Amino acid sequence: MTKRVIFIEHDNASPGGPIWAQFERRGFEIVRFMVVGAENAENPNVEPVWPDFFKFDAVVVMGAQYAAYDDARIGNWLLPLIEKMRAVHNAGIPVFGICFGGQLMSRVLGGTVSRSPRAELGWVDIKSKDESFVSNGPWFQFHWDRFTLPPGATEIASNELCPQAFVYGRTLGVQFHPEVDPEVLDTWLAIESACADLESEGVEVENLRAQTRKIQSESNKRGYELVDQFLDRVATAPIVLI
């Protein structure tokens, strides 16, 4: 029987790039669920009709333009999603949280999320405690917030700013974006505010595009390998309840 993975996309600009490709290579059917569509971009506090997450073999919680602690702005869907992901985790369904998704899973598992002292933008090296699991990178970063390590979680990678990857039972949370390739980046940069945000921090957008094209082969390979580690190590780990 075909395995199924659902990608929770919190906005209309969250393609999966090499992450999609590797899940498909590993025999998964990809299902996409968008929380906030383009029509609600200015009023994102929507009340979605949620899918049944228990019908899937894995759940990937993607990045977002929002803060994983902004209950006032997006609480109508953020708070229910936290409760749903807690139930998914406790059911032993493997969860892969990426950037906002990693922050959300930290919160689900008892960690905290807050504004970071500075942004991390572009291709950044990290410090891995297990390079066979998460390499040192560089990995793509695009965040102004950071999470703490949930109590009882195992930190896999970090840098001087924040934890970069952790495992707790069958959940993997990362702060970086392993899905970024030139096409994904172009999708993000089509959003006017994304370019403005980068430029406000001194990032040269065209240089970022060029660097992403230059290292695409290596960065895609890192993304493929991370999916493999998620499926081979995290998804098969003992269930740890919260």
The verdict on whether 143 is a catalytic residue reads: no
The token pair that represents 113 in the structure block: 């999320």
Q: Cα dihedral sign for 213, 214, 218, 222?
A: negative
In whole angstroms, give the CA distance from residue 38 to residue 232. 35
In whole angstroms, give the CA distance from residue 238 to residue 39. 41
Of the candidates 109, 99, 227, 90, the residue with the CA atom closest to the CA atom of residue 167: 109
The verdict on whether 162 is a catalytic residue reads: no
In whole angstroms, give the CA distance from residue 82 to residue 112. 13
Q: Which is catalytic among the residues 9, 89, 162, 179?
A: 179
- What is the total residue count of the chain? 242
The verdict on whether 177 is a catalytic residue reads: yes
In whole angstroms, give the CA distance from residue 73 to residue 65. 12
Of the candidates 76, 64, 47, the residue with the CA atom closest to the CA atom of residue 8: 64
Q: Which is catalytic among the residues 10, 89, 99, 162?
A: 99
Among all residues, which ones are annotated catalytic? 99, 177, 179
